[in-house]
C-alpha cells in the first residue's frame, strides 16, 4: 500500500520522538514520518517526572518495562509529597501526599466518612483513604517483580532521565520506520493561503502534508504563522524560572524515594526526584519575587552546600499555550505548543494527549486540518484545566510571603477554580465536575490537594452507626497499608533488578 500522508516532524526532543513513534505505530503504512532535528541546538534535557498514562503509551509503542527502566535510568513514581506548602505548626513542617491511587472505596462513601470525622483525631487524608501513602513513605516499590509489564496493585508512573528517554524513543521510532534527518531548519516558506509550502533546512528543501512543530520553546514553525497567538496565564501562575542540578547519592545503597518531593520556599518550590544514578533537583521560582542569586541561595540551602560550588542550569519559561496549536497544515506539540510549569509533571502527558489526538483526528486523505478546530478546543481546555489544578496548590496556602499572599488573591484565580472552590465548601469534588476527554486530573486528584492543604468541606454530621462503620473501614485500609509496606520490595531493589544492575 502506498503512503497516504507525509508528516514532517521538526525537533528531536521528547515531543518529537514520542509523536514520531506514536504516529508511525498508530497509522502504520498510512503515514510516512520524517523527523528533522538539529543536534547543535540540542534538547531542553529536563522533565524527569511523568503521569501514569505513560505506561499505556510505552506499552502501545512496544517498549517493555525492563528495557525502559534500563535505557531511561527510570525509577517508580507513586505521587508527590508536598512539604512546607502551609506554614509550620508548632515547629513541625507541614507535609501531605498526593498519591496516584484513587481513594480505596468507590465514591462517595470513604471521602464523606473522612470529612465527617473529627479534624483533631483523624489521619491525614491520603493516609486514611489509600495504602499508597504507607508504601511510598517506606520507600517500597508499587509492585512485586514478575507482576507483568506496567501492571501492579498500585497506580504508578516513572521518574527518568529525559535525555535517555528521548534516545530510547528515537530507537523505537526508527524501528517503526521513521526517517531521521540531522540538520537545522532555517526558513519557512508560506503559500498564499498562509499554510506552509515548504521548509528550507541543512538537509535540503522539505515538504509534507502535515508539519509538526516540536522545536521546543523556539516554536520555529507555529510561531511564524499568521494567526498564531500565545495565551499567557502569567497572571495566574507566577513561576517562570528554574535552576536545575544533579546530586549523587551518598552511598550506592541509599534508598530511592518513589515519589517526587516538592518543597515550598518563599517564592516557589523545589523538586527532588530520585533517579537510578542520582537525585535530580530543581528550584522553581517567580522572577518577580526572587532574583537568580536568591534562587541559587535557596537551592544551596536545600542541598546543604555552598552556592559558589553549585553550577546549576538556569531555564526560563513563560506559562501559557498556543490558542490554536493546529493551524492549517502545522500542529505544535510539546513546549512549542505550551507549558505551564514543572509542578505535577504535566509536560509529557500533554505530548501523549496531543499525539493520540493527531493520530485519530488526521483524516487519511483530503485537507489535513479537518480535525484542527476540535484539537485546538480540546488542547486549550486541557491547559485551562491543568492551570486551574496547579493554581489550587498555591491559592490555599496561608504562607506569609508576598508570592504566596498574591497567589491567594481571588483576583488571580482562574474563574472555573473560583466557582469550584465555592461549591467544594459544601461537597467534595465529584467526577461529574469534569469533562473526561479534556481532563488530565480526576476529581480525586483535586481531593488530595484540597484536603492535604486543610480545606474544609461541610459534609454534614455522621450518625453513630455510620461513624463506627467508617472507623472499621479506615482500620482496614491502615492494616492493608502496613502489610503492603512490609511485603512489597524496596524501591531500589526492584529498580536494580529490572535494570539488571542488582
> What angle, 0 to 180 degrees and rounded to 10, lies between the N-to-C axes of helices 347-361 and 14-27?
30
CB 332, CB 325: distance < 8 Å: yes
Return the residue of 7, 8, 20, 37 that touches ligand FAD, per CB under 6 A. 37
Rounded to whole angstroms, how far apart are CA atoms 442 and 487?
Answer: 29
* Closer by beta carbon to ligand FAD, 74 or else 242: 242
Return the residue of 79, 312, 319, 334 that touches ligand FAD, per CB under 6 A. 334
Shortest separation between residue 17's beta carbon and ligand FAD, angstroms: 8
Position 216 contacts ligand FAD (CB under 6 A): yes
CB 312, CB 296: distance < 8 Å: yes
Position 429 contacts ligand FAD (CB under 6 A): no
Report which DSSP code applies to 376: H
Return the residue of 49, 268, 312, 452 that touches ligand FAD, per CB under 6 A. 49
Q: Please report where in the chains the cell 546543604 appears, as a residue.
A: 304
* Closer by beta carbon to ligand FAD, 127 or else 161: 161
Position 198 contacts ligand FAD (CB under 6 A): no
Position 345 contacts ligand FAD (CB under 6 A): yes
Q: What nine digits make up the cell of 215?
A: 522545536
CB 95, CB 264: distance < 8 Å: no
Shortest separation between residue 11's beta carbon and ligand FAD, angstroms: 3
Position 317 contacts ligand FAD (CB under 6 A): yes
Does the bond joining 422 to the residue before it have cis omega, within 30 degrees of 0? no
Shortest separation between residue 415's beta carbon and ligand FAD, angstroms: 26
Q: Would you please indicate which residues are annotated as catalytic (active-site) residues?
A: 77
Position 67 contacts ligand FAD (CB under 6 A): no
* Closer by beta carbon to ligand FAD, 36 or else 154: 36
Task: Give the residue among 315, 314, 313, 384 at the shortest CA–CA distance from 346.
Answer: 384
Shortest separation between residue 348's beta carbon and ligand FAD, angstroms: 3
The residues, any chain, with a CB within 8 Å of residue 281's CB and separated by 6 or more, are: 244, 245, 246, 247, 270, 271, 272, 273, 299, 302, 303
Position 48 contacts ligand FAD (CB under 6 A): yes
Q: What nine digits make up the cell of 172?
A: 523505537
Rounded to whole angstroms, how far apart are CA atoms 245 and 110?
Answer: 41
Sheet holding 320-322, edge to edge: 230-232, 320-322, 338-339
Position 239 contacts ligand FAD (CB under 6 A): no
Position 46 contacts ligand FAD (CB under 6 A): yes
Q: Which stretch binds ligand FAD (CB under 6 A): 104-112, 114-122, 345-353, 425-433?
A: 345-353
Q: 10 Å Cβ neighbour count for 174?
A: 16
Tell me which residues touch ligand FAD (CB under 6 A).
10-16, 36-38, 41-44, 46-50, 162, 184-185, 214-216, 218, 220, 242, 315, 317, 334-335, 342, 345, 347-348
Amino acid at each position: 500500500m502506498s503512503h497516504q500522508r507525509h508528516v514532517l516532524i521538526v525537533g528531536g526532543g521528547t515531543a518529537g520522538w514520542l509523536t514520531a513513534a506514536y504516529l508511525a505505530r498508530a497509522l502504520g503504512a498510512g503515514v510516512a514520518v520524517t523527523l528533522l532535528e538539529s543536534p547543535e541546538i540540542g534538547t531542553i534535557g529536563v522533565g524527569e517526572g511523568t503521569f501514569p498514562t505513560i505506561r499505556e503509551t510505552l506499552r502501545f509503542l512496544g517498549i517493555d518495562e525492563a528495557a525502559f527502566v534500563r535505557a531511561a535510568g527510570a525509577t517508580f513514581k507513586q505521587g508527590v509529597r508536598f512539604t512546607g506548602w502551609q506554614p509550620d505548626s508548632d515547629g513541625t513542617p507541614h507535609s501531605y501526599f498526593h498519591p496516584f491511587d484513587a481513594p480505596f472505596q468507590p465514591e462517595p462513601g470513604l471521602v464523606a466518612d473522612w470529612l465527617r470525622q473529627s479534624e483533631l483525631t483523624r489521619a491525614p487524608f491520603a493516609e486514611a483513604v489509600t495504602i499508597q501513602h504507607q508504601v511510598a513513605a517506606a520507600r517500597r516499590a508499587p509492585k512485586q517483580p514478575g507482576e507483568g509489564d506496567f501492571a501492579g496493585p498500585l497506580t504508578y508512573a516513572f521518574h527518568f532521565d529525559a535525555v535517555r528517554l528521548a534516545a530510547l524513543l528515537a530507537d523505537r521510532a526508527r524501528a517503526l520506520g521513521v526517517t531521521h534527518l540531522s540538520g537545522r531548519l532555517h526558513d519557512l516558506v508560506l503559500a498564499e493561503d498562509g499554510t506552509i509550502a515548504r521548509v528550507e533546512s541543512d538537509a535540503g528543501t522539505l515538504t509534507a502534508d502535515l508539519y509538526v512543530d516540536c522545536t521546543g520553546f523556539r516554536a520555529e514553525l507555529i510561531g511564524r504563522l499568521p494567526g498564531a497567538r500565545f495565551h499567557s496565564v502569567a497572571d495566574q501562575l507566577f513561576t517562570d524560572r528554574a535552576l536545575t542540578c544533579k546530586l549523587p547519592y551518598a552511598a550506592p545503597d541509599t534508598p530511592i524515594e518513589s515519589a517526587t518531593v516538592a518543597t515550598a520556599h518563599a517564592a516557589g518550590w523545589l523538586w527532588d526526584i530520585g533517579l537510578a544514578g542520582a537525585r535530580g533537583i530543581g528550584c522553581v521560582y517567580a522572577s518577580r519575587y526572587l532574583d537568580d542569586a536568591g534562587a541559587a541561595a535557596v537551592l544551596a540551602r536545600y542541598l546543604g552546600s555552598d552556592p559558589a560550588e553549585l553550577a546549576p542550569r538556569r531555564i526560563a519559561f513563560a506559562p501559557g499555550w498556543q490558542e490554536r496549536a493546529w493551524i492549517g497544515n502545522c500542529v505544535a506539540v510539546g513546549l512549542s505548543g505550551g507549558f505551564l510549569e514543572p509542578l505535577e509533571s504535566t509536560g509529557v502527558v500533554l505530548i501523549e494527549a496531543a499525539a493520540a489526538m493527531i493520530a485519530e483526528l488526521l483524516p487519511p486523505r483530503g485537507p489535513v486540518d479537518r480535525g484542527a478546530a476540535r484539537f485546538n478546543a480540546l488542547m486549550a481546555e486541557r491547559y485551562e484545566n491543568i492551570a486551574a489544578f496547579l493554581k489550587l496548590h498555591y491559592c490555599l496556602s496561608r504562607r506569609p510571603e508576598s508570592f504566596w499572599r498574591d497567589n491567594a488573591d481571588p483576583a488571580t484565580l482562574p474563574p472555573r477554580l473560583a466557582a469550584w472552590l465555592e461549591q467544594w465548601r459544601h461537597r467534595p469534588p465529584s467526577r461529574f465536575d469534569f469533562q473526561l476527554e479534556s481532563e488530565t486530573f480526576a476529581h480525586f486528584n483535586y481531593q488530595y490537594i484540597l484536603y492535604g492543604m486543610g480545606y474544609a468541606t461541610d459534609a454534614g454530621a455522621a450518625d453513630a452507626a455510620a461513624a463506627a462503620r467508617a472507623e472499621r473501614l479506615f482500620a482496614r485500609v491502615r492494616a492493608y497499608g502496613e502489610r503492603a509496606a512490609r511485603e512489597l520490595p524496596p524501591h531500589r531493589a526492584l529498580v536494580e533488578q529490572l535494570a539488571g544492575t542488582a
